[in-house]
Structure 1
Amino acid sequence: MALATDPKRAPLGALLGKAGASLTSAQTDLGLGVGLASGMVMSEATLEIKAAVSRNSTGELEIEPLSSAHLAGALNASAVSTIRVNFVATAATPNAASGSDGTTTPVKNRDEIIKNFRQRDDLLALERVLGPLQVNASFLAGSQRWLVNAVDADGRLVREQLLSD
């Protein structure tokens, strides 16, 4: 990564690298503390910047933020560029072992998932109001997650959640 010779300017590649790293960091932090896997929470994001773009002595594109002087008319409007970057997330390869037929087997068992789900404060509160709930869990091999749902005595879905394996 090259350093900018003018402190007002920054290499475009450095900006995009930092923006991508920041998005990755935010993506990783999503879902922490609530039992969600965050590998694919946000599938797409767009960063749009209006700036003056030029080339440095090595030919690398640099951007210069627009100041109030620029916006007041000291800058030719045709010198302003719009930089739009689309970040698209991709799913990571599942970590669990794959069977010989290509299917993925869960690490946790169904009873363990159901037991942990039944102990959640929100589900206990719903059972106090609605009465006993039937909890079902299905493993979704493609995403390495469990789809867990709770239905009341009338068969109405009252809670559904994806839990990481």
Structure 2
Amino acid sequence: MCQVRLGPRTSVRLLQSKADAATRQRWSSEPLHAPTMHRGSRLGITGLVVAVGLLLLGSATEADRGSNSAAAFVQNVVYSNRIAIFSKSYCPYSSRAKRVFSELQEKPFVIELDLRDDGREIQNVLLDLVGRYTVPQVFINGQHVGGSDETLDALANGQLQKLLGKSSI
């Protein structure tokens, strides 16, 4: 067994197998080719540091992948659908925005964030994209309209119909 010191207060005990002991014995009888190849646990420390680094890198990569997939999902939804609404099923403002399009006989692509496992990640992407964490967030032809109030304002001033390519009602 050898003890590896990671810091002033932290140490890890490693069990050495017979193969590790034989390898260390062989290295101790051969000329040194690298500073880490000497008798003791120096090689074990290097291996431990590399293993911890790879674990940390792997977990950071997983987090980035989750973030990237949420960002890719948002971009795909926004640019692949004529009307996209990021909503929550219980939100009265989201219901109001959806009702506007229903009255215009339009069928928006609606993403109910509270019903998705990745809803928070998507909402964080929306925060980065439009500067708001609130719902609803309405997009028409890839252009951000805003929330419920902005959607109603756009309807009232005719901007919504222009974005949809319709004449005013």
Larger Rg: 1 or 2? 2
Does TM, normalized by the shorter one, top 0.5? no
* TM-score calculated relative to the size of structure 2: 0.26
Q: Which has the higher strand share?
A: 1
